[in-house]
Chains A and B, each alone.
Chain A
Amino acid sequence: MYRLFVLLIILMFSMSSALAGTSAPKDLKDLYFGEALYYAFQGDWFDAIARLDTELMQHHRVDEPERDTLYYHINQAEFDVGDFELAYRMHQRAGRAITAVIEGNVEEPVRNDAIFRLARIYFQKDQPVNALYAVERISGVVPSKIRDDLAFLRAQIFMANGRFAEAVSILEDLKDTKSLLGFSTYNLGIALIKEGQEPEGRQYLDHTGQINSNNALTLAIKDKSNLVLGSKLLEEKKFEGAKEVLDRVRLVGPFSNRALLGSGWADAFQGRFERALVPWSTLVTREVTDASVQGAMLAVPYAYGKLDVYSKAAVIYGSALEKLSTEIDKLDASIKSIREGHFLRALVREELKQDANWVVKLRRLPQTPETYYLLELMASHDFQESLKNYLDLEELRKKLIAWERDLDAFEEIIEQRRAYYQPLLPVIDREFRRLDSQMRLRLEQRDRIEQRLKAMLVVPRPDYLATSKERIISEQIARLERKLTKDGTVVPSGVDARVKRLRGVLHWNIYTNYDRRFTEAYKHLYDLNQKVDKLKTQYNAFVNTRQAATQSYEGYDDVIRRQRFFIQTTREKVGELMARQGHMLETMAVNELTNRRERLAEFQIKVRFAMADSYDRAIRAQAQEKMER
């Protein structure tokens, strides 16, 4: 039984991670999508959804989505977010996300895969009509990886809708499918029985009960099949057959206790009480909190009574009475512990996430309830869903508290930035304006030079490329010429010739060096362009940094205020929901324990009578024996 519990708890906590069947793209282009997958592969659904949501939101805001790296994975991302939401048990949102994929422009296999997932959601959420409507929309190519699962789901949906004949027809095709070994034939058996084909149905249950496998789940369904068939035969008083089928159930499996009890009854009904004592004696040594074990505690002395061993029967009844009293006390203490809130407090302990057996170990803690009594309840779908919701709410509560602290830290950062930048920025801005006007001036100069050089390509102007020295000399010559011709004085021919020679030399130099100078001017302009580019980069970097400085502390107040408000209101709602969900869990647990307590109290009364009767018979038998002697 302990194993059953461990198995169930492991299944309970691993189920969500098994749900999503996503895989990473071969050529991952978007690292943030890869990050969302990293969290999803660890079963950390909240972070996976939050990151993928952020990435999708940013992608949809981009002006040119085809240039965004998520563009390459957008179909998978939209699909995966629905998958993750499903794994995080947000069925409503997952349904919407998957419906969006179905209605989008996607290929047939992708669409059918999406409908399959949607139908599975509806089926899991106990909405068989919607599930049926969904699977009926599947047409065309179905991906091979889901073909068998889809057929099996379709059959289950038909069964849930009471359409057993259609389920039978599908399950008959699946009976040899390896991945569904045991499950297809078990369901086929049940569907046939429901369809009114009792003998055929029983044959399949019988067949399932004799499957050879090493797979734990197949073995579990095999045991279940035997238990169902055995119980049916027992009810119909076909004791021999019932015994045979019930004895096939493993001694260590989750159904073994019930099978042992039934097997004993199959013998007892045939008057074979010695043989009935074999399974019951095994059962009676097991965990006393189990209902079957408690049943055996009464069945064993009953068998001894039937074998006329009244004194032994009376002693065993006495011991059973003692055990029942202890168990009733334990149940009272457990109910009290739950009502005092110890159960919920224990459930949210961190150890639960680290150790799947923790729920079982709860019983070892002081003031915590006897979890063995809650075994069947805890394994039920409703309790599991409620417990997971409670644990999820606890996680959300912790996150919201941490985020409130984050917002405090953000506000402090913003204040510190404001205090640092605000006095500095006016000085920096003044200096920047001065440099900016200088820079503009120089850039205008550069532009003029470039324009002039371009024009000189068409109309050469050597005088533009005269050096400053040459310009001074030219000025000096011009001055000399003016001086010499001033007042109409006749210039001596030697002097005039010398001046003209000087001008000629100057002209010669300017014109003969023009090509070289023109090339050099272009080279200088090229060098200048490089410097200007550097300057522009620096300028842009400064503008960005300057902008970033303001943006580092301005424009956050409203966002932070809004977020704080959302967090506070959501925290209140989470607290309220936690209280309601917790109360629901406590009520479920208390109800279960109360039922068990009432049943034990009933046992106690009956056992008292039975014990008294056994003592009477033992005394009478002894008296008769004496008389006979």
Chain B
Amino acid sequence: MFYWLRRVILGISVLVLSVAAYAQEISREQIKGLDEQVQEIKSDVLSIATELNQLEEKLLYPSNTQVAVFVSLVSGETFRLDSAEIQLDGKPVAHHIYTFKELEALQKGGVQRIYTGNIRSGEHDLQISVIGKSFGGADFNKTERFKIDKGVGPEIVEVSLAAQNITLKDR
């Protein structure tokens, strides 16, 4: 009896020690085939997204009135950016609170498009306010005003943030 029991228990243990067998009714080919179809549908949806991006830009932000504001961090900056607010001609147009992932993406050199809108050609006031914490832990609160000159083409500006100052680059 004990010999029999030992074989049973040992058999169970060997099963445990070996790799689990699963999904016997599903073949590798089925998984692969479905995966390929998912890849194809992703490709289709990406094509739609690309077309829609272009349609949206043409319809909502035509080049003669388009203004786009991008936010970037100066390379090597270590301050913690909590939020940013953009005012255009005295009116708040964008406000963003940063998640850790977004801040990390900015620190790695990514650029965030914080606002896209429409303005008339000519001169406009742009105000940028940022809140955060310096590397030492002190509160960080800065506001800068700039003038932008909207011409016939799209107005693309980059707001570059550093602990010391905020600079504007007209692209």
Contacts and interface: CB of A to CB of B under 8 A. Distances in A.
A461 interface: no
Interface in A370-391: 376-377, 380, 382-383, 385-386, 389
Given A385-B35, A548-B65, A570-B44, A376 B20 contact: yes
Contact of B59 (A34, A54, A556): A556
A295 B65 contact: no
Contact of A414 (B21, B39, B59): B59
Contacts of B46: 46, 49-50, 53
B25 A23 contact: no
B62 A591 contact: no
A330 interface: no
A31 B44 CA distance: 26
B110 A295 contact: no
Give the residue among A31, A258, A560, A587 with the most B Cβ atoms within 10 A: A31
Nearest to B38: A389
A295 B9 contact: yes
B41 A584 contact: no
A302 B68 CA distance: 74
A46 B49 contact: yes
Interface string B34-50: 11111111111111111
A551 B41 CA distance: 32
A14 to B, nearest CB: 12
Interface in B1-56: 1-2, 5-6, 8-10, 12-13, 15-17, 20-26, 28, 30-31, 34-56
Contact of A41 (B34, B75, B110, B171): B110
B162 to A, nearest CB: 15
Given A393-B38, A396-B42, A261 B26 contact: no
A265 B16 CA distance: 13
Contacts of B156: 31
A89 B12 contact: no
Interface string A376-413: 11001011011001001100100110010010001001
Contacts of A51: 53
B110 A37 contact: yes
Interface in B85-143: 101-102, 104-106, 108-113, 121
Contact of A380 (B16, B22, B44, B53): B22
Nearest to B12: A295
Contacts of A540: 152
Contacts of A574: 41, 45
> For the side of the interface on B, what is the size category?
35 or more
A298 interface: yes
A28 interface: yes
A377 B113 contact: no
Residue with the greatest number of chain A CB neighbours at <10 A, chosen from B23, B28, B56: B23
Interface string A23-65: 1111010011011011111110010011101100110000000
Given A299-B9, A399-B45, A35 B113 contact: yes
A584 B30 contact: yes
Contact of A591 (B1, B25, B60): B25
B23 A588 contact: yes
Contacts of B158: 31
A579 to B, nearest CB: 11
A376 B44 CA distance: 33
Given A41-B105, A298-B9, A570 B41 contact: yes
> How big is the A interface, by class?
35 or more
B48 A570 contact: yes
A544 B70 CA distance: 26
A470 interface: no
Contact of A563 (B51, B62, B121): B51
A583 to B, nearest CB: 10
Given A563-B51, A595-B22, A38 B16 contact: no
Given A306-B2, A567-B48, A606-B8, A573 B41 contact: yes
A17 to B, nearest CB: 9
Nearest to A33: B111
A467 B34 CA distance: 90
A566 interface: yes
A38 B35 contact: no
B64 interface: yes
A580 interface: yes
Interface in A284-339: 291-292, 294-295, 298-299, 302, 305-306
28 contacts: A28-B72, A31-B156, A35-B110, A35-B112, A37-B108, A40-B110, A58-B54, A90-B43, A231-B17, A261-B13, A262-B17, A265-B10, A291-B20, A292-B16, A295-B12, A302-B2, A302-B9, A305-B2, A382-B23, A392-B42, A410-B56, A413-B60, A551-B58, A552-B59, A556-B59, A566-B47, A570-B48, A587-B23
Given A291-B20, A566-B51, 9 more contacts: A37-B110, A302-B5, A389-B35, A563-B48, A563-B51, A573-B41, A581-B38, A584-B31, A587-B26
Interface of A: 23-26, 28, 31-32, 34-35, 37-43, 46, 49-51, 53-54, 57-58, 69, 88-93, 126, 227, 231, 258, 261-262, 265, 291-292, 294-295, 298-299, 302, 305-306, 376-377, 380, 382-383, 385-386, 389, 392-393, 396, 399-400, 403, 406, 410, 413-414, 540-541, 544-545, 548, 551-552, 556, 559-560, 563, 566-567, 570, 573-574, 577, 580-581, 584, 587-588, 591-592, 595, 599, 603, 606, 610, 613
Which 6 residue pairs spanning A and B have beta carbons closest together?
A24-B109, A34-B111, A38-B110, A41-B105, A50-B49, A588-B23
